[in-house]
């Protein structure tokens, strides 16, 4: 559910955080396509997890990790509003922690093993 929530928040509140990392590292074209890839990865990962697919879990983890890295990149490199940065970082970290928590790994081992 949190992956879906993050995808909806990207659509509603914009994708500036996720664009800037791609722009700084890869250039203009990547900055236009990476938010769409992230959106598809979050939705696809959520659907894959819901349907008990291994690729869904991997997709969700990779999207969540990119999301954390992009948020930290913006927070460290640019002057941003502290409250918005902390809220965005909190939701990104919660998604990573919930996906990589040992109890989630046990669930994955039972259902995907």
**Burial degree of 11 (CB within 10 A; 0-12, 13-18, 19+):** exposed
pLDDT confidence of residue 71: 86
| DSSP 8-state assignment for residue 52 | T
* Predicted local distance difference test score (pLDDT) of residue 65: 93
The whole-number pLDDT of residue 43 equals 93
Residue 113 has pLDDT above 70, yes or no: no
pLDDT tens track for 43-99: 999 999 888 888 988 999 999 998 899 888 888 888 888 888 898 889 889 989 988
For residue 110, pLDDT over 90 is answered with no
Rounded Cα–Cα distance for residues 70 and 53 (Å) = 26
Alpha-carbon distance 3 to 40, whole Å? Answer: 11
pLDDT in tens, 1-38: 888 888 888 788 766 767 777 788 787 777 788 888 88
Give the C-alpha separation, 9 to 98, whole Å: 18
Contact between 60 and 100 under an 8 Å Cβ cutoff? The reply is: no
- Quote the pLDDT of residue 111: 61
CA angle 26, 43, 15 (to 5 degrees): 40
**Does 109 have pLDDT greater than 70?**
no
């Amino acid at each position: 559910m949190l992956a879906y929530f993050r995808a909806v928040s990207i659509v509603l509140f914009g994708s500036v955080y996720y664009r800037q990392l791609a722009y700084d590292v890869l250039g203009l074209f990547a900055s236009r396509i990476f938010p769409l890839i992230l959106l598809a990865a979050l939705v696809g990962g959520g659907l894959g997890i819901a349907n008990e697919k291994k690729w869904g879990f991997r997709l969700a983890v990779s999207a969540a990790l990119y999301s954390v890295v992009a948020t930290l990149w913006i927070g460290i490199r640019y002057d941003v509003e502290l409250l918005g940065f902390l809220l965005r970082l909190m939701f990104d970290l919660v998604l990573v922690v919930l996906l990589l928590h040992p109890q989630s790994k046990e669930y994955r081992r039972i259902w995907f093993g």
